[in-house]
A and B are shown apart, each in its own frame.
Chain A
Amino acid sequence: SQTIHQWPATLVQPVGSPLSLECTVEGTSNPNLYWYRQAAGRGLQLLFYSVGIGQISSEVPQNLSASRPQDRQFILSSKKLLLSDSGFYLCASQGLAGQETQYFGPGTRLLVL
């Protein structure tokens, strides 16, 4: 099975500061990768997904961006954080589209002050 690593686990950042969250995957090759955001007590909002290196699709317009520099590395970034960017960010990986489920990482809790 897959193992998804995310770091940092917790992050407190001032408004207007940059952001970089990293996700790496073990146990599979050429996975589909996903970034979700989860507000407190709420559901999962898909932010970005990627089917390969350099291939990123955005689901929601926002001041966040994603990149996939390597097959099993997915990065979520922002140039200037907003208060509304606070939340729980989850990376997910799917080994074979349509044949395997999505596996989630442990998440990064981001608090923007």
Chain B
Amino acid sequence: QQQVKQSPQSLIVQKGGISIINCAYENTAFDYFPWYQQFPGKGPALLIAIRPDVSEKKEGRFTISFNKSAKQFSLHIMDSQPGDSATYFCAGEDSWGKFQFGAGTQVVVTP
């Protein structure tokens, strides 16, 4: 059972454009929603995270939008740069510390 569905599987965006990745979850016990960034051959690194008591969180060019009623959240990468080319994973965590990860989105930013 895939509790966190992530789309699209891959994304190509031009430099300066906006990258948007969407995730939908089923488990209403999730209370923490992180996004991870992974470069080839490296472990995933925490990028930005949100709790369901806020609808939006922004850190630099990265923004999470959260819709609790729809059980959806998304990552927006503004002014995308070639250095943002990576695989992005969303996740949900419940209060017992159990994580469920999305399948990942490969983002390619063209010069």
| A interface residues (Cβ-Cβ under 8 A, vs B) | 4, 32, 34, 41-44, 46, 88, 90, 94, 96-98, 101-107, 109
Contacts and interface: CB of A to CB of B under 8 A. Distances in A.
A103 B104 contact: no
Interface stretch (B44-52, B65-73, B75-83): B44-52
Given A32-B97, A106-B42, 15 more contacts: A42-B103, A43-B101, A44-B89, A44-B104, A90-B43, A94-B97, A97-B97, A98-B93, A98-B94, A98-B95, A98-B97, A102-B99, A103-B46, A107-B41, A107-B43
A42 B87 CA distance: 10
Nearest to A91: B43
Contacts, number: 50
Interface of B: 31-32, 34, 36, 41-46, 49, 89, 93-97, 99, 101-104, 106
Contact of B45 (A41, A46, A104): A104
Main secondary structure of the interface of B (DSSP, over half): strand
20 contacts: A4-B43, A32-B97, A43-B89, A43-B101, A43-B102, A43-B104, A44-B44, A44-B104, A90-B44, A98-B31, A98-B32, A98-B95, A98-B96, A101-B46, A101-B49, A101-B93, A104-B36, A104-B44, A107-B41, A107-B42
Contacts of B96: 97-98
Nearest to A1: B46
A98 B104 CA distance: 22
Contacts of A107: 41-43
